């Protein structure tokens, strides 16, 4: 007698069902403060758009520019529980004039450090390269607030098991060395948008930051 296959479990992560709400290229265009917001940040080419799409179980919710670092606006997505997911411009590379680059990087910094409805920050870091100075600059402005941070060590599928474990350990150690006890609210997850490794673990963490539907 053949066995009946067990039904697949559908995990309704907090970003599932997200819908594009609007974009802002300057402070005056930001939506009115209201729902709690979870922001996603990361260096250009770290895999931020792919991570957002994986968490949303979609393929084209967040778009990656064909030219790294050229996205200059903050994109807002409405979540089914009333919260918002926020896709911040990538930082660290841009083949544009320095003044223009500085303008939108300042906009990102202003949002992260002054937005009262920002309840948590997801920082996407390429597991193969670890924490860079610009990642630290961003975290320096956010971690002292006491709000939680989740670091997604992306592209972990490109590393073997031992290297993946070492990459996560290295990121955690760098957080401890730089922030000491202040990094108690910083989590690190080995993540891959390709293999879906770490997706459900990230779901659990992000869901804790948002009100229930």
pLDDT digit string, tens, across residues 45-89: 899 999 999 999 998 887 665 444 445 789 999 999 889 999 998
Residues of the chain with pLDDT under 70: 1-11, 63-71, 93-104, 212-213
- Smallest Cα–Cα separation from 122: which of 83, 164, 82, 160? 83
Q: Under the phi-then-psi rule, with left for phi > 0, alpha for psi from -120 to 50, and beta for the rest, what region is 146?
A: left
| CA–CA separation, 192 and 152 (whole Å) | 9
Confidence (pTM): 0.88
Q: Which helix (H) or strand (E) holds 163?
A: helix 161-179
- Smallest Cα–Cα separation from 167: which of 136, 205, 127? 127
Tokens describing residue 84: 């918002």
pLDDT score for 1: 38
Strands across the sheet with 74-78, in order?
19-24, 74-78, 84-87, 37-42, 118-126, 149-154, 186-190
pLDDT score for 70: 45
Superfamily of domain covering 19-209: P-loop containing nucleotide triphosphate hydrolases (3.40.50.300)
Tokens describing residue 176: 């401890």
Alpha helices for 62-142 (secondary structure H) = 98-114, 133-142
| CA–CA separation, 110 and 113 (whole Å) | 5
Q: Cβ distance 23 to 73 under 8 Å?
A: yes
pLDDT score for 10: 45
Instruction: Supply the DSSP symbol for 8.
Output: P
φ/ψ of 150, rounded to 5, equals -120, 120
pLDDT score for 69: 44
User: Measured in whole angstroms, how far is the alpha carbon of residue 202 from the centre of its chain?
Assistant: 10
How far, CA to CA in Å, does 28 sit from each of 39, 130, 149?
18, 34, 26
Instruction: Supply the DSSP symbol for 158.
Output: G
């Amino acid at each position: 007698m053949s066995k009946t296959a067990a039904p697949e479990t559908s995990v309704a992560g907090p970003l599932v069902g997200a819908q594009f709400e609007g974009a802002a290229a300057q402070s005056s265009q930001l939506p009115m403060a209201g729902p709690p917001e979870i922001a996603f940040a990361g260096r250009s080419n770290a895999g931020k758009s792919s991570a957002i799409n994986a968490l949303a179980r979609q393929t084209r919710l967040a778009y990656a520019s064909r030219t790294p670092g050229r996205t200059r606006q903050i994109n807002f997505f409405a979540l089914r529980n009333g919260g918002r997911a926020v896709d911040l411009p990538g930082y660290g590379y841009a083949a544009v004039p320095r003044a223009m680059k500085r303008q939108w990087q300042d906009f990102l910094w202003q949002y992260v450090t002054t937005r009262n409805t920002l309840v948590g920050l997801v920082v996407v870091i390429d597991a193969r390269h670890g924490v860079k100075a610009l990642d630290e600059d961003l975290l320096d402005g956010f971690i002292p607030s006491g709000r939680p941070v989740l670091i997604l060590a992306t592209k972990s599928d490109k590393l073997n098991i031992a290297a993946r474990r070492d990459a996560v350990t290295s990121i955690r150690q760098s957080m401890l060395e730089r922030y000491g006890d202040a990094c108690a609210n910083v989590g690190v997850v080995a993540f891959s948008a390709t293999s879906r490794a770490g997706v459900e673990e990230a779901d659990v963490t992000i869901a804790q930051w948002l009100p229930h539907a």
